[in-house]
């Protein structure tokens, strides 16, 4: 081989070797580009990075009573935690351009963005904020300025599609995912799921390399809770109560609607209440569910208790006649609005204090105490574990004769609205006390029934004969007595008014009263029991004036909605809703 040929061969080898080296650099750079590894992160490219990610469980829904086509009352919506990786900000991107891009949708706090841009370019993680706007997330994922330096973590946020509807009953879940009160708190163990996770290896941008996934645990989503609440009936109750509160300048109020034969609560309205947007800055007193937590002296709505006792214990008959002329009771005069002589029926219709006192003094303190407790007074109903009051029923051994007759007319004893409606539902269904309940079913995310509540009888309080007799007497209250404004066209309504002076230190207020009405219909075969209460209404305060009309308004709407047959049978098919 000539000297020239050898030289050419050497140059060919040099060029070939150089080409191989150059090609190797090109291929390596392409690989790094595909893996998303910038020059600032090449150190990490040669060092495996652990990847972990939480797979968030979805909190269960809370829905109304319609199992087939339920209204969603509380649900969890997707939310994204947005974070900045300063180490991945392109050298060609100015802070101003990145700031403007991130702030343009008004989804992230500008102050957080500014702080993030000041972070060292070697830092990897800084949370900018949260969003539920999927379009904003997609915008950041595809924008050339943000797609490499912005990351996302999936999570969920609690939403209440109907706003402040059923507020005190539902409760709330805060921005940290913590249940605070109400059914959200009460049933947290059922609603809250178990998060899953993924473990593996990440690339330089913290994206998972799925082929290197080492462990995976899928989340277990929370269970769905179906309430006994009817969305329509609840709305009727809330609207009527809000109007009544404003019209009567009341301090607070409550309405409960119950099915007397099952104990199911169809509506439970309470005012005033908090707003979901501002609950954290509002008085915690607004969180209170008045229907289960307000202890108050009931006044004359308690008289159904003593009149039923008189019949059940055969102390009197419905035809018994009483001398109602003014006289002293336990050494004190007792105001009344009756004639000199009243029958058992007319005395209840006119809400006679004197006849109520005579019946009370005809029995023993121990028997009267037993009767009150049989109806559920002085004890919690168990409708919820947290937030319910039990009322105040003093030990009967401490009663004086005067206190005994005061309890009979609804003074000297405190009850809750849920206890009082329970007594009237007991009378309505023939004498059996039913446990009230708000939750109908609990189902898993796959639809499996986890818990199903059925009507539960606590015990018989009075016999059916007594219950029917008292029901007839209570019809008289709405036909010729103090509750005429509670009448619903086409139905016999059985109920009782109450106008209770509010207890104050040293006695009773002469200006503040609790006005109430509680009753059921159709009286012959009751489908619905309703209790209405207004605390300190003004200027009018009598139960027959301020509460009875609300009963009639709500009752009429319920009757129409459920197609409850009228007295003449004009509607033959009861709505299959209940």
* 260-262-268 Cα angle (round to 5): 70
pLDDT at residue 7 is higher than 80: no
pLDDT the model gives residue 507: 86
pLDDT at residue 304 is higher than 70: yes
pLDDT at residue 220 is higher than 80: yes
pLDDT in tens, 417-430: 999 999 999 999 99
pLDDT at residue 576 is higher than 60: no
d(CA 410, CA 501): 10
pLDDT the model gives residue 283: 87
pLDDT the model gives residue 55: 87
Crossing angle (nearest 10°) for helices 303-312 and 464-480:
140
Work out the percent of the chain whose per-residue pLDDT is above 90. Answer: 75
Provide the pLDDT confidence category of residue 45 given band limits of 50, 70 and 90: very low
Q: Which residues contact 499 (CB under 8 A, 6 or more apart)?
A: 299, 300, 513, 514, 515, 516, 541, 542, 543, 544
Lowest mean per-residue pLDDT among 222-236, 325-339, 453-467, 485-499: 325-339
Helix ranges (DSSP H) in 71-207:
95-103, 110-117, 134-142, 167-170, 182-186, 188-191
The predicted model gives 39-55 an average pLDDT of 62
Q: Which residues contact 304 (CB under 8 A, 6 or more apart)?
A: 348, 423, 424, 427, 470, 474, 496
Provide the pLDDT confidence category of residue 525 given band limits of 50, 70 and 90: very high
pLDDT the model gives residue 238: 98
Helix (H, G, I), strand (E, B) or coil at 217: strand
Mark 541-572 as b/e (b = at least 16 C-beta within 10 Å): bbbbbbbbbbbbbbbbbbbeebebbeeeeeee
Give one DSSP letter per residue of 411-430, joined into a string: -S-BB-HHHHHHHHHHHHTT
d(CA 489, CA 557): 11
Structure tokens at 28: 């390596």
Q: Taking a C-beta distance cutoff of 8 angstroms, is the pair 235, 257 a contact?
A: no
pLDDT the model gives residue 25: 53
Average pLDDT, the chain: 90
pLDDT at residue 391 is higher than 70: yes
pLDDT the model gives residue 26: 53
pLDDT at residue 412 is higher than 60: yes
pLDDT the model gives residue 282: 87
pLDDT the model gives residue 41: 42
pLDDT in tens, 310-350: 999 999 999 999 999 999 999 999 999 899 999 999 999 99
State phi, psi for 88 to the nearest 5 degrees: -105, 5
pLDDT at residue 148 is higher than 60: yes
* Full-model pTM: 0.85
Query: Strand 265-271 relative to strand 252-258: parallel, antiparallel, unpaired?
Result: antiparallel
Query: Strand 507-521 relative to strand 528-535: parallel, antiparallel, unpaired?
Result: antiparallel
Which strands, in side-by-side order, build the sheet including 49-55? Answer: 49-55, 196-202, 215-217
pLDDT in tens, 118-140: 988 888 889 999 999 999 999 99
The percent helix, strand, coil of the chain (3-state, each to 5) is: 35, 25, 40
pLDDT at residue 174 is higher than 60: yes
Work out the percent of the chain whose per-residue pLDDT is above 70. Answer: 89
The predicted model gives 163-181 an average pLDDT of 92
pLDDT at residue 541 is higher than 90: yes
The predicted model gives 196-201 an average pLDDT of 91
State phi, psi for 174 to the nearest 5 degrees: -80, 180
Of 33 and 315, the one with more pLDDT: 315
pLDDT the model gives residue 10: 58
pLDDT the model gives residue 469: 97
pLDDT at residue 574 is higher than 80: no
Provide the pLDDT confidence category of residue 205 given band limits of 50, 70 and 90: low
pLDDT at residue 377 is higher than 90: yes
Which of 53-62, 209-218, 240-249 tops mean pLDDT?
A: 240-249
Site of tokens 């055969």: 314
pLDDT in tens, 471-513: 999 999 999 999 999 999 999 999 999 999 998 888 899 899 9
d(CA 419, CA 533): 13
């Amino acid at each position: 081989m000539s000297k020239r040929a050898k030289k050419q061969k050497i140059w060919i080898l040099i060029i070939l070797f150089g080409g191989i080296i150059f090609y190797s650099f090109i291929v390596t750079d392409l690989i790094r580009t595909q893996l998303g590894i910038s020059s600032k992160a090449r150190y990490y490219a040669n060092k495996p990075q652990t990847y972990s990610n939480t797979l968030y469980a979805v909190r269960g829904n809370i829905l109304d009573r319609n199992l087939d086509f339920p209204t969603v009352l509380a649900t969890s919506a997707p939310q994204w935690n947005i974070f900045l990786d300063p180490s991945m900000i392109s050298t060609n991107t100015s802070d101003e351009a990145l700031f403007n891009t991130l702030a343009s949708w008004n989804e992230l706090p500008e102050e957080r963005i500014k702080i993030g841009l000041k972070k060292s370019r070697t830092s990897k993680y800084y949370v900018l904020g949260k969003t539920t706007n999927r379009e904003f997330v997609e915008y950041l994922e595809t924008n050339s300025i943000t797609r490499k330096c912005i990351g996302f973590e999936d999570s969920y946020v609690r939403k209440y599609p109907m706003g402040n509807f059923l507020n005190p009953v539902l409760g709330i879940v805060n921005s940290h995912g913590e249940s605070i009160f109400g059914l959200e708190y009460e049933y947290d163990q059922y609603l809250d799921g178990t998060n899953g996770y993924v473990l593996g290896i990440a690339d330089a941008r913290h994206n998972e390399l799925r082929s290197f996934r080492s462990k995976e645990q899928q989340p277990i989503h929370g269970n769905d809770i179906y309430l006994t609440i009817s969305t329509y009936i609840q709305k009727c109750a809330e609207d009527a109560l809000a109007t009544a509160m404003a019209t009567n300048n009341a301090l607070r109020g409550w309405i409960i609607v119950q099915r007397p034969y099952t104990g199911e609560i169809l509506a439970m309205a309470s005012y005033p209440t908090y707003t979901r947007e501002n609950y954290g800055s509002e008085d915690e007193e607004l969180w209170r569910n008045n229907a289960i937590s307000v202890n108050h002296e009931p006044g004359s709505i308690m008289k159904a208790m003593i009149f039923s006792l008189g019949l059940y214990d055969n102390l009197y008959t419905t035809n018994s006649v009483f001398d109602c002329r003014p006289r002293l009771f336990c050494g004190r005069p007792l105001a009344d609005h009756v004639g000199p002589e009243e029958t058992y029926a007319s005395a209840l219709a006119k809400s006679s204090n004197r006849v109520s006192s005579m019946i009370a003094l005809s029995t023993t303190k121990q028997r009267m105490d037993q009767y009150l407790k049989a109806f559920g007074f002085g004890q919690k109903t168990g409708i919820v574990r947290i937030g319910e009051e039990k009322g105040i029923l003093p030990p009967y051994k401490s009663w004086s004769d005067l206190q005994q007759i005061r309890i009979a007319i609804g003074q000297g004893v405190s009850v809750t609205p849920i206890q009082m409606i329970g007594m009237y539902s007991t009378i309505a269904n023939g004498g059996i006390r039913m446990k009230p309940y708000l939750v109908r079913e609990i189902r898993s995310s796959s639809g499996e029934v986890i818990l199903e509540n059925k009507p539960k009888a606590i015990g018989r309080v009075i016999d059916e004969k007594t219950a029917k007799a008292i029901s007839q007497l209570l019809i008289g209250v709405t036909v010729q007595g103090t509750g005429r404004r509670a009448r619903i066209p086409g139905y016999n309504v059985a109920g009782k008014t109450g106008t209770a002076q509010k207890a104050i230190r040293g006695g009773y207020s002469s200006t503040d009263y609790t006005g109430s009405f509680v009753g059921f219909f159709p009286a012959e075969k009751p489908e619905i029991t309703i209790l209405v209460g207004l605390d300190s209404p003004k200027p009018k305060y009598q139960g027959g004036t301020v509460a009875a009309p609300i009963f009639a308004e709500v009752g009429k709407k319920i009757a129409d909605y459920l197609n409850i047959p009228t007295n003449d049978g004009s509607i033959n098919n009861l709505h299959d809703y209940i």
